[in-house]
Amino acid sequence: MPAVKKQRKINKKIKIAVLGGGTGLSTLLSGLKYYTNNLTAIVTTADDGGSSGRLRREFNVLPPGDIRSCLVALADDDTLLAHLFQYRFEAGSGLAGHSFGNLFLAAMEKITGSFNQGIIEAGKVLAIRGKVLPVTLTKVTLNARLATGKILRGQSESPPRPHLDQFKRFRERRARFSI
């Protein structure tokens, strides 16, 4: 991070809550952490593709990927632990495609007995500035009905750049919100 950003005075009175997931949320958090320590990220848990989807299916855990990205975004940029959490295995039977941080969070959920407590403990390990909360602790599936009538089930089925006029209805099933 450039020295200019590290020298900014952190205002402890400013409180910011952000809601979302994916690359956008973690990018936003990585900049906001230089203005306040009172950050709360409320992060989606509907991912079902890639490493998160595999862990979700194989170990019955909530998808850790977006949570991991937000934890790392709120950690100091130059720490070895932050880089370790983002490390993605390129080879290995069963390990290829997984990031270390996703595996760590899945293990923390099993060890602590709670996804939420696993996030809290991972935040302590990374010494994050702020809090990261899952939008729900219930397993949810993102669904969309296209104007053609076709139903897409799961985030991984959604087209990468959908045309909004294709969607008739958009919702999350079985979501109970807990903040």
Q: Where are the domains of the chain?
A: 3-134, 141-173
The pTM assigned to this predicted structure is 0.81
Write down the pLDDT at residue 164: 54
Per-residue pLDDT at 56: 92
- For 79-128, the pLDDT digits (tens) are 898 899 999 999 888 899 899 999 999 999 999 999 999 999 999 999 99
- Residue 16 to residue 38: CA distance in whole angstroms: 6
Q: Which two tokens stand for residue 111?
A: 């060890």
Q: What would the pLDDT profile of 118-175 be if each residue is shown by its tens digit?
A: 999 999 999 999 999 999 999 888 887 777 788 888 777 766 555 555 554 454 445 4
74, 136, 144, 145 from 171: Cα distances, Å = 29, 14, 6, 9
